[in-house]
Copies of this chain bind each other. A is one copy, B any other.
Amino acid sequence: MHETSSDSDYVETVIRVRYAETDQMGVVYHANYLVWFEVGRVAWCGARGFQYRELEARDNRMMLVAEASCRYRAPARFDDEILIRTAIGSSNDKVIRFRYETRNQHSGQLLATGETVHVVTDRNLRPARLPKHIGKLFLPSRHA
């Protein structure tokens, strides 16, 4: 299986680096990129027509993080505007993969790339499936 990744696959959102996110190196502390990826996922869900919080509140489904990885290419700094680009990887109604790029919004410079893998669970963290109307958004045909 191979995935094409046309630009239209990516959902984009922009945040601004908070002072709280820096560390004494003078750059963004690396764990915060995982938080930014989460911001990207929520934006992706919104752009695809459902609210992640509704998935939890109404459908009793959560996307538990099973794996996360990040490669850091260049540092981000306080007050930088950061472009977070989020796309879906090979997924189904039980396992979901996202991939991410973060760039300096002003210069376009690539800052980091990453991936997360999620397992769908119910509120008690037991394996489950996405509801049909949401699950179909994650099928290969949507993003091949």
Taking beta carbons and an 8 Å cutoff, which residues of A are in contact with B?
16, 18-20, 22-27, 29-32, 34-35, 38-39, 42, 51-53, 56, 62, 64-72, 75, 77-79, 125
Docked pose: A125 CA to B66 CA in angstroms:
31
**Residues of chain B contacted by A20 (CB below 8 angstroms):** 23, 29, 31, 35, 38
- Where chain A touches its partner, the secondary structure class is mixed
**Residues of chain B contacted by A16 (CB below 8 angstroms):** 39, 42
Are A68 and B69 within 8 A (Cβ)?
A: yes
Contact pick for A38, options B18, B38, B65, B77, CB 8 Å:
B18
Contact pick for A18, options B19, B35, B51, CB 8 Å:
B35
What's the nearest-Cβ distance from chain B to residue A102, in Å?
14
> A16-B39, A18-B39, A31-B68 are known contacts; what are 4 more A-B pairs with Cβ within 8 Å?
A20-B35, A24-B27, A24-B78, A67-B72
**Residues of chain B contacted by A75 (CB below 8 angstroms):** 64, 125
Docked pose: A27 CA to B20 CA in angstroms:
11
Are B34 and A30 within 8 A (Cβ)?
A: yes
Docked pose: A71 CA to B68 CA in angstroms:
7
